[in-house]
Amino acid sequence: MAVAFLSGAGLPPVELVQIADRSYVIDGMHRVSVARALGIGAIEALLH
């Protein structure tokens, strides 16, 4: 996953669900974890 982020490979957006005033990852937690570890501040996401 880290190699894909660093190489600029097209990754599908993570999927989020919003409950009240919070958002939760329903698909793509590995992408979120790698982005955080690499210091990437934003990634593409779909909000359901």
Alpha-carbon distances, residue 11 vs 17, 19, 20, 21 (angstroms): 19, 25, 28, 27
Domain coverage including residue 42:
12-47
Provide the number of structural domains found in the chain: 1
Tens digit of pLDDT for each residue in 6-35? 787 778 999 999 999 999 999 999 999 999
Residue 21 lies in a domain: yes
Containing 26, the helix (H) or strand (E) segment is strand 22-27
Alpha-carbon distances, residue 18 vs 7, 15, 24, 43 (angstroms): 30, 10, 6, 17
Residue 18 lies in a domain: yes
Residue 30 lies in a domain: yes
Residue 4 lies in a domain: no
Given this model, what pLDDT does residue 22 score? 96
Closest CA to 31 of 10, 20, 19, 21: 10
Residue 1 lies in a domain: no
